[in-house]
């Protein structure tokens, strides 16, 4: 085999910023909203218990203030969920996987395919309800997954898992459905 | 002559003796406290007068405890076996719940041999082997004959090399000495230790013991300390003398720590690995093959920089950041030696041959002050105002210190990249340098906040197995460019 190592100009380096990221499945927005809603309900239950036990039910200012604060928290949670969903996306290249998530703290990962050790498909109750799945991607070392690619259909998650582990670099349509 | 390891064998029976002595030591501690508290409480209020009658029962419990622990160790010894099977090292143990641990030889990162005082008496040692797969130690035998441990270590290393054609015929027995510490090096190490840390450790130890004492004996330690401190007349001289005594004790404590740790320190290089040995009472021996070194770093506090003294760390896949005992840290006593040792990992440092990336942006400093410095100052100052009024302004001194330290950190941050490695230099009062081969990384990421996005900044995160390095506040285009470049180099 002949080894070649041609020099590269800065413009020759493939740029991730020019990639068009593929959005995750639209049903994942519902899951994100439901999860935030559940979080808000738990917070509200805790706050209500504190207001009742500390101030008594007969102090309307506490109830009004708590109500406004909880409504604001709900608005922020739902707004960030929608913005995070809009910002979430992934792209596959011949040699790596690009994945972006988060809105307030946006994070974009580039994982070379040859560094992937194994993948795992995970389906929670809400994901099963909407026919979706998450793909956990692990590289060497560490205790947890490096990234979790959420909002994929189960079929896409399985195909992507097989492609990443069995034949990375090949066209993905060669993986049987 | 090397023996074969394909037949299962038990650890040394010394495992039972070491288990017995450890248990006896722990139980004797409890027994001693009980005896002291019993006899001191005798006749005092709250004492039922039956303490002496309870003694035989306590002694009986003590003996029962010893018997249980020794039996458990004996069962552990009898049911533990280890052997080599093909390209795997097997450890089988357990009587009721059988466990079988299989370690592929190629996955073994470091092999450590520890020999404490008890081991020396019985001519045994403990051996541990770590892989990259877990933060815990996978293979551990508490007592194995010293010769057997060295033999097993050699077997594992030679079998590892047989599956690597490049090293197949390498002669691994010739070792080149790289480092040994002399008297002057010990003096430098003792002087430049972190004495404040030592003082804090002593204070914690004394307070802990005082608490135990007051719990066990009903002695009012808190009242005693408070009485003594109020009786103490504070003057310039008395404070000076007290500080000097504290510093003296801290220096003595630090020096003892240095001697215990670095006594007879030896580092040598074979054809395929670094081998090191250190320690006075507990002797440690560690081997790490070159290819298992993930990256290297070295640092020196302000005093050590002046004394030309550094601590070089070889980071391997197997180690956990939280378990300091697993870290491979080498005391390096001159810049020349540091260049020589780092040269065994990377012949030319990126700082000497690479492209200097313009460092982190000034916005980093402003954001740190705005998001951490000012809120903390306002909050603590605000609370302090209710108690000490205008004296609360002293909190501004902390803000000044915080600003100065962040400014120095910003000024000191430097990055160099070549087509094979990256070097990062950073630090506030001391300096830390890290060198990472680009192909050792597993992925890169770019992290941004809304402020960074609207002002064109980004954090570049370099992920290694189990560890991450964050380069904060680079210009966005530069972070994008280096992320693409490093990705390309990882994929080559």
Q: What is the pLDDT of residue B33?
A: 72
To the nearest whole Å, the CA of B11 is away from the closest chain A CA by 30
Angle CA(B292)–CA(B297)–CA(B303) in degrees, nearest 5?
A: 150
B318: closest chain A residue by CA: A141
Determine, yes or no, domain membership for A22.
no
A80 and A140 both lie in a single domain: no
Angle CA(B89)–CA(B91)–CA(B93) in degrees, nearest 5?
A: 170
CA gap B486, B492 in Å, rounded: 10
Q: What is the pLDDT of residue A90?
A: 92
A65 and A100 both lie in a single domain: no
Say yes or no: B291 contacts chain A, CB-CB below 8 A.
no
Mean pLDDT across chain A, nearest whole number?
A: 83
B133: closest chain A residue by CA: A141
Determine, yes or no, domain membership for A156.
yes
A167 and A114 both lie in a single domain: yes
Say yes or no: B322 contacts chain A, CB-CB below 8 A.
no
Most B CBs within 10 Å, among A8, A112, A118, to test the B interface: A112
Say yes or no: A9 contacts chain B, CB-CB below 8 A.
no
What domain count does chain A have?
A: 2
Q: Please name every residue paired with A52 in a beta bridge, in sequence order, or none if there are none.
A: none
**Range from A146-150, B94-98, B461-465, B471-475 carrying the lowest mean pLDDT:** B94-98
A94 and A80 both lie in a single domain: no
Contacts of B283 (CB under 8 A, 6+ apart): B114, B115, B116, B120, B125, B277
CA gap B471, B458 in Å, rounded: 9
Q: What is the pLDDT of residue B52?
A: 64
Stretch B432-442: mean pLDDT = 92
Long-range CB pairs of B319-325 (<8 Å, 24+ gap) are: B319/B110, B319/B130, B320/B135, B320/B466, B321/B466, B321/B467, B322/B135, B323/B135
Say yes or no: A7 contacts chain B, CB-CB below 8 A.
no
Q: What is the pLDDT of residue B19?
A: 79
A40-82 tens-digit pLDDT:
999 999 888 887 777 655 677 777 888 888 899 999 999 999 9
Compute and round to an integer the Cα radius of gyration of chain B. 28
A144 and A97 both lie in a single domain: yes
Nearest to B107 by CA among B132, B82, B85: B132
Most A CBs within 10 Å, among B104, B319, B418, B442, to test the A interface: B442
Structure token digits, residue A2: 């002949």
**Confidence grade of residue A29 (pLDDT, cut at 50, 70, 90):** very high
**Range from A158-162, B75-79, B94-98, B118-122 carrying the lowest mean pLDDT:** B94-98
Helical pair B14-41 and B51-78, crossing angle rounded to 10 deg: 170
Q: What are phi and psi of A10, to 5 degrees?
A: -50, -35
**Confidence grade of residue B40 (pLDDT, cut at 50, 70, 90):** low
Contacts of B224 (CB under 8 A, 6+ apart): none
A41 and A105 both lie in a single domain: no
Say yes or no: A17 contacts chain B, CB-CB below 8 A.
yes
ipTM of the complex model: 0.84
User: Looking at the predicted structure, is the pLDDT value of residue A110 above 80?
Assistant: yes
A98 and A60 both lie in a single domain: no
CA gap B464, B315 in Å, rounded: 11
B182-222 tens-digit pLDDT:
888 888 888 888 888 888 888 888 888 777 767 666 666 67
B309 against B33, higher pLDDT: B309
Determine, yes or no, domain membership for A14.
no
Element at A31 (helix H, strand E): helix A27-55
Mean pLDDT across chain B, nearest whole number?
A: 82
A104 and A64 both lie in a single domain: no
Place of tokens 């927005």: A29
Range of the structural domain that residue A100 is part of: 90-174
Tell me if A104 and B444 make a contact (CB, 8 A cut-off).
no
A123 and A144 both lie in a single domain: yes
Say yes or no: A92 contacts chain B, CB-CB below 8 A.
no
DSSP B127: E
Structure token digits, residue B340: 């020589």
A107 and A170 both lie in a single domain: yes
Q: What is the pLDDT of residue B170?
A: 46
DSSP B295: E
């Amino acid at each position: 085999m002949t080894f070649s190592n041609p020099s590269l100009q800065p413009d020759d380096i493939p740029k991730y910023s020019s990639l068009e990221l593929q959005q995750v499945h639209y049903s994942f927005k519902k899951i994100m909203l439901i999860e935030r809603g559940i979080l808000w309900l738990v917070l509200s239950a805790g706050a209500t218990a504190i207001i009742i036990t500390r101030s008594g039910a007969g102090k309307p200012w506490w109830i009004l203030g708590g109500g406004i604060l909880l409504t604001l928290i709900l608005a922020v949670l739902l707004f960030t969920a929608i913005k995070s969903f809009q910002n979430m996306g992934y792209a596959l290249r011949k040699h790596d996987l690009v994945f972006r998530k988060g809105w307030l703290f946006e994070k974009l990962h580039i994982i070379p395919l040859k560094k992937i050790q194994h993948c795992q498909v995970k389906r929670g109750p809400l994901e099963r309800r909407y026919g979706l799945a998450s793909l956990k991607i692990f590289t060497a070392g560490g205790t947890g997954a490096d990234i979790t690619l959420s909002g994929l259909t189960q079929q896409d998650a399985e195909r992507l898992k097989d492609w990443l582990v069995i034949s990375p670099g090949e066209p993905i349509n060669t993986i049987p459905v | 002559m090397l023996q074969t390891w394909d037949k299962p064998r038990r650890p040394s029976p010394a495992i039972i003796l070491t288990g017995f002595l450890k248990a006896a030591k722990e139980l004797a501690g409890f027994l001693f406290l009980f005896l002291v508290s019993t006899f001191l409480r005798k006749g005092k209020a709250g004492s039922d007068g039956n303490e002496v009658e309870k003694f035989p029962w306590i002694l009986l419990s003590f003996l029962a405890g010893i018997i249980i622990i020794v039996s458990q160790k004996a069962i552990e010894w009898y049911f533990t076996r280890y052997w080599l099977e093909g390209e795997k090292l097997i450890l089988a143990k357990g009587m009721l719940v059988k466990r079988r641990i299989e370690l592929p030889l190629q996955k073994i990162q470091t092999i450590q041999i520890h020999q404490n005082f008890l081991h020396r008496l019985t001519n045994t040692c403990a051996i541990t082997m770590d892989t990259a797969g877990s933060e815990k130690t996978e293979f551990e035998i508490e007592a194995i004959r010293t010769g057997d441990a060295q033999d097993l270590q050699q077997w594992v290393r030679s079998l590892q090399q047989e599956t690597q054609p490049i090293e197949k015929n390498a002669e691994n027995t010739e070792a080149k000495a790289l480092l040994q510490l002399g008297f002057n090096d010990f003096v430098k190490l003792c002087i430049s230790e972190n004495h404040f840390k030592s003082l804090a450790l002593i204070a914690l130890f004394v307070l802990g013991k005082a608490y135990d004492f007051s719990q066990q004996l009903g002695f009012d330690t808190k009242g005693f300390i408070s009485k003594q401190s109020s009786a103490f007349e504070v003057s310039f001289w008395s404070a000076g003398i007290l500080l000097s005594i504290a510093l003296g004790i801290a220096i003595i404590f630090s020096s003892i720590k240095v001697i215990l740790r670095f006594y007879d320190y030896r580092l040598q290089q074979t054809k395929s690995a670094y081998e090191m040995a250190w320690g006075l009472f507990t002797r440690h021996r560690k081997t790490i093959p070159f290819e298992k070194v993930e990256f290297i770093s070295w640092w020196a506090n302000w005093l050590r920089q002046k004394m030309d003294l550094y601590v070089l760390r070889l980071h391997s896949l197997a180690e956990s950041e939280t378990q300091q005992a697993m870290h491979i840290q080498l005391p390096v006593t001159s810049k020349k030696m540091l260049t020589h040792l780092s040269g065994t990992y990377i012949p030319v440092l990126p700082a000497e041959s690479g492209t200097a990336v313009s460092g982190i942006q000034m916005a980093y400093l402003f954001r740190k002050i705005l998001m951490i410095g000012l809120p903390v100052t306002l909050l603590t100052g605000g609370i302090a105002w209710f108690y000490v009024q205008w004296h609360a302004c002293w909190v501004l001194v902390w803000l000044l210190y915080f600003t100065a330290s962040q400014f120095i950190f910003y000024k000191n941050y430097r990055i160099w990249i070549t087509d094979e490695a990256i070097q990062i230099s950073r630090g506030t009062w001391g300096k830390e340098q890290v060198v990472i081969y680009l192909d050792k990384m597993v992925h890169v990421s770019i992290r941004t906040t809304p402020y960074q996005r609207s002002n064109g900044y980004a954090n570049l995160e370099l992920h290694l197995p189990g560890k991450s390095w964050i380069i904060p506040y680079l210009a966005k285009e530069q972070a994008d460019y280096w992320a693409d470049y490093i990705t390309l180099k990882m994929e080559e």
